[in-house]
Amino acid sequence: MKKITFIIIILLLLAFFYRYPKETIRVNNEDRVYSPAYGKIMSIKLRKDNTLYIAIFLSPLDIHYQFFPVSGKVKNIIYDHTGKFELAYELNKSNDNEKCIHTITNKHGDFVVYQIAGFLVRRITYYDKIGKDYESGEKLGLIHFGSRVDIIIPNADKFKLQVKEGDRVNGSESLLGTY
């Protein structure tokens, strides 16, 4: 009886972890940038190359599907299998983790989304294809268990940021900002 209870608990935890949000907002608007993930904004940095860097940490309790933050065409996908598996909330260490890098282009430039594997994670799944157009809110991929999603937003001088460090974001329901 204890074995069955243990198995049921594990199955319920897995079902909770792999849950998909009830609704995702899909918008075909290149001027609005939504959160690519559910989680907490760990860092926002304006970089010297006029891009805005936003890091979002996903705890094991967050939804782990990622979504297109902007409408546009997938220009490139790079899966880096050579990375490590450091704790995802340690920004300096986890930059070297295994990751999948997506470049999405539209009239504002190239947006780069990093799916970064965490300490417990050993797999990233992505659903996009190079050369295909997508709308904001469409499913981008899934990081299995604790992880991080980073986004680089081009032309930061023209972008109106609407979130701050420490904010919780809920995927395509959360607007990061507009052009």
Quick one: pLDDT at residue 155? 97
Identified catalytic residue from 94, 136, 147, 172: 147
Mean pLDDT of 54-80: 93
Position 177 pLDDT exceeds 70: yes
Mean pLDDT of 84-112: 82
Position 16 pLDDT exceeds 80: no
C-alpha 157/C-alpha 172 separation (Å) is 23
Quick one: pLDDT at residue 89? 58
Mean pLDDT of 157-174: 96
- Torsion sign over Cα 74, 66, 19, 147: positive
Quick one: pLDDT at residue 70? 97
Position 87 pLDDT exceeds 70: no
pLDDT digits (tens, 9 = 90+) for 103-153: 999 999 999 999 998 766 567 899 999 999 999 999 999 988 668 999 999
**Catalytic residue flag (residue 174):** no
Quick one: pLDDT at residue 4? 81
pTM: 0.87
> Tell me, what amino acid is at 96?
D
List the chain domain ranges: 2-178
Please tell me whether residue 91 adopts helix, strand or coil conformation. helix
Which CATH number is 2-178's, of 3.30.70, 3.40.50, 2.70.70, 2.20.28? 2.70.70
